[in-house]
Amino acid sequence: MLKIWGRTNSINVQKVMWTVGELELAHERIDAGGAFGRLDTDEYGRMNPNRRIPVLQDGDVTIWESQAIVRYLAAVHGAGSLWDEDPARRSLADRWMEWAVGTIMPQLHPIFWTLKRTPEAERDMAAVERAAVAIQPLWRLLDEHLAHSSFVAGDRLTMGDIPLGCAWWRYANLDVDHPAVPNIDLWYQNLKRRDAYRRHVMIEVT
């Protein structure tokens, strides 16, 4: 059985749990990180020298980094669904996965961290405003892309939707101005119809 180490309110753990849910994989999730601790133990350090979450154990295979875990699960268990077997088509999902981490998250992180995890008296609201302005044209790029397909890599959910779907849920629930993005709105409605998305991503943002 798969073992997943990490707390449910971590966006990176949510990526993995959504993937597991979509693929209906038997698993055990073990609370770790944040208030649960465990990351400074020798056991955890052997699994992930970075001492971060999530970690996946699949028999003798141990994987850290959420994007790598999502790809692994999709490749092993999701051929023809989350994992497109055509490398050229799969590269589209790959591109949007990397775009989510390298382009969206650097702007989303300061907004989320400040508004949700920083005491009010210590918040740098000027930094929040800068990031909130900077992220809007980025979401419009995704919106333009989604004008041509229901999901980021075509007309079915793939691994490419998973990091962005997690990021959008957080962003949509933050008290900042949001751009008009009708195609993202349609995509989001599609995501919300999925049981695994509702169970593992659409939870209180803390």
Full-model pTM: 0.96
Indicate if the pLDDT at residue 205 is higher than 90.
no
Q: Say which CATH number the domain at 157 has.
A: 1.20.1050.10
Which domain-ending residue is among 77, 109, 131?
77
Q: Mean pLDDT throughout 125-148?
A: 98
Which domain-ending residue is among 77, 105, 123?
77
Q: For residue 202, what pLDDT is reported?
A: 97
Q: Say which CATH number the domain at 33 has.
A: 3.40.30.10
DSSP 100: I
Kindly state whether residues 62 and 99 are assigned to the same domain: no
Indicate if the pLDDT at residue 32 is higher than 70.
yes
**Which alpha helices (H) appear in 28-181, and where do they start and end?**
42-47, 66-77, 87-99, 105-117, 125-145, 161-172
Q: Which two tokens stand for residue 19?
A: 């993937």
How far apart CA 103 and CA 107 sit, in angstroms, is: 7
Kindly state whether residues 102 and 194 are assigned to the same domain: yes
Q: For residue 79, what pLDDT is reported?
A: 96
Average pLDDT along the chain: 97
Which domain-ending residue is among 52, 77, 102?
77
Residue 82 falls within a domain, yes or no? no
Number of domains forming the structure of the chain: 2
How far apart CA 158 and CA 150 sit, in angstroms, is: 11
Residue 203 falls within a domain, yes or no? no
pLDDT tens figures, 44-89: 999 999 999 999 999 999 999 999 999 999 999 999 999 999 999 9
Kindly state whether residues 28 and 49 are assigned to the same domain: yes
Residue ranges making up the domain that contains 70: 2-77
